[in-house]
Structures are given as structure tokens and as C-alpha cells.
Chain A
């Protein structure tokens, strides 16, 4: 009887461990994916800023050339 209970407890502990590891793996994957999306957003913001600066500079050059 004691042996069976011990076996059952061990089995359940093993199952809990497996479940926990799987959940942790899923959480890590989700966090990594989210971080990658954030990195992509940051890169997009930088591209947007550079683009705005180039546009502003081009307009400035245009105005100065027209004034020549």
C-alpha cells in the first residue's frame, strides 16, 4: 500500500515537473517573440526618423537652390 502511494506520488511529481517545464518553454518562446517584435518596432521608428530628416533636408536644399 505504502509503495503504491509512493509510486503514485512520484509519478504525479514527475508529471508536474513535465508540465512546468513545458509551460516555462512556452513562456520563454512567447517572451522572445514579443521582444523580436519590439526590436522590429524600434528599427521601424529609427527608419521613420531618418526618412523624415532626409525629406526635410531635401526640401531645404530645394529652397536654397531655387534662391540661387
Chain B
């Protein structure tokens, strides 16, 4: 009987120690992982900004490539569902880590009660303090996901607005160019224009037409996003 009790006690001790140790390891791993990812993200964003300053065309090409990737991903799910899942998974991860902290705090409290050791009591207090310090980080991870989602929605709305403005500008521009062309032809027929004036006006019309075409291309690719 005593042997059974002893073995049960031993098993309990091992269980407790094993879980505590691995919970700690997993926490450290998580912290490292998140820190690493954040650093990588910052570096990537800085790099992109620098590239954008140096060569806007290259960035545009890369941006389109990225967009295609995102679109493919979103096509598998639905656009709205994808974003909801992102937030949900982030919230779930934050909740899980909070639960881990709560469990740890409870375990540390139990430990201090059992042994009535002042040093261990101090340790558990330290653990609680550490958990309290980590709380804002976890909240900020959730907030970060929400912020990212909100920013994305805002920018998408802004883009939609810009596309609408651009579309109306293209339509107006085409009309104005047609009018300018007609006027130029009329002036040419009437013989009111010198060759220099004619070239200048034609040049302006061509430049405006080229700019409108470029804008139209950009709008077309933006609509595909």
C-alpha cells in the first residue's frame, strides 16, 4: 500500500514538474518566435520603403506579384472570411497564452501554500509580476491584429475612392481632348495657326492623352486587386 502511495506521489511530482518545465520552455519559444517574426517584418518593411524611394517601378512590379499571391489565397477562402479567421486565430492564440499564465500562477500559489516557504513565496510573486508584465504584450498582439485589419479596410476604402475619382477624370479628360482636337482641326482649316503654335498645341494634346492612358492602365490594374 505504501509503495502504491509512493508511486502515485512520484507520478504526481513528475507530472507537475514536467508540465511546468515544458510550459516555461514553450513560453520562451513563443516569445523568441514572436520577437523574431516582428524583427523580420520590420526589416522587410524598411527594405520595401527604401526600394520604393530608389526604384518605384520595381516596387510596383513586386507589389503586383504580392497582390496576386494574396488574391490567390483569398480566392480559396472568401475575402471576408479570411480576415475574420485571421483575427479569430490571433485572439485565440492570445487567450491560450493568457490561460497558460493563469495556470502557472495557480500552480505557483499552490506550491507556496504546500511548502510554506518564504523563498518560494517570493518566487511566485515574481512569476506573477512577470505574467502581469507580459499581459500588455499579449493584448498588444491582439490589438495589432485588429489594427492591421482596420488599416487594411481603411486603405482599401481610400483606394476605391481614388479609383472612382480617376475614372471620372479619365472620362472628362477624353471629352476635353476630343474637344481640343476638334478645335485644333478647325483652327488649322481656317488657317489661323502658325506651324509653331500648331505643333505646340498638338504636343500638349498628345501629352495629356498619354497621361490619361497611363492613368487608365493604373486604374485597370488597381481594379483587379
Contacts and interface: CB of A to CB of B under 8 A. Distances in A.
Say whether chain B's binding surface is mostly helix, strand, loop, or mixed.
Answer: helix
Contact of B218 (A1, A11, A40, A50): A50
Given A23-B23, A32-B89, A51-B159, A41 B45 contact: yes
Contacts of A7: 7, 11
Interface string B52-81: 100010011001101100100100000000
Interface string A38-61: 111111111111110111011011
Interface string B117-155: 000000000000000000000000100110011011001
A27 B66 contact: no
Contacts of B97: 26, 30
A51 B163 CA distance: 8
B179 to A, nearest CB: 9
Given A27-B33, A58-B215, A64-B211, A50 B222 contact: yes
B105 interface: no
A8 to B, nearest CB: 4
Contact of B26 (A8, A26, A46): A26
Interface stretch (B108-116, B190-198, B201-209): B201-209
A49 B23 contact: no
Contact of A41 (B8, B148, B170): B148
A24 B21 CA distance: 13
B89 A36 contact: yes
B50 interface: no
A51 B183 CA distance: 34
Contact of A31 (B14, B25, B33, B177): B33
Interface of A: 1, 4-5, 7-9, 11-13, 15-16, 19-20, 22-24, 26-27, 29-51, 53-55, 57-58, 60-62, 64-65, 67-68
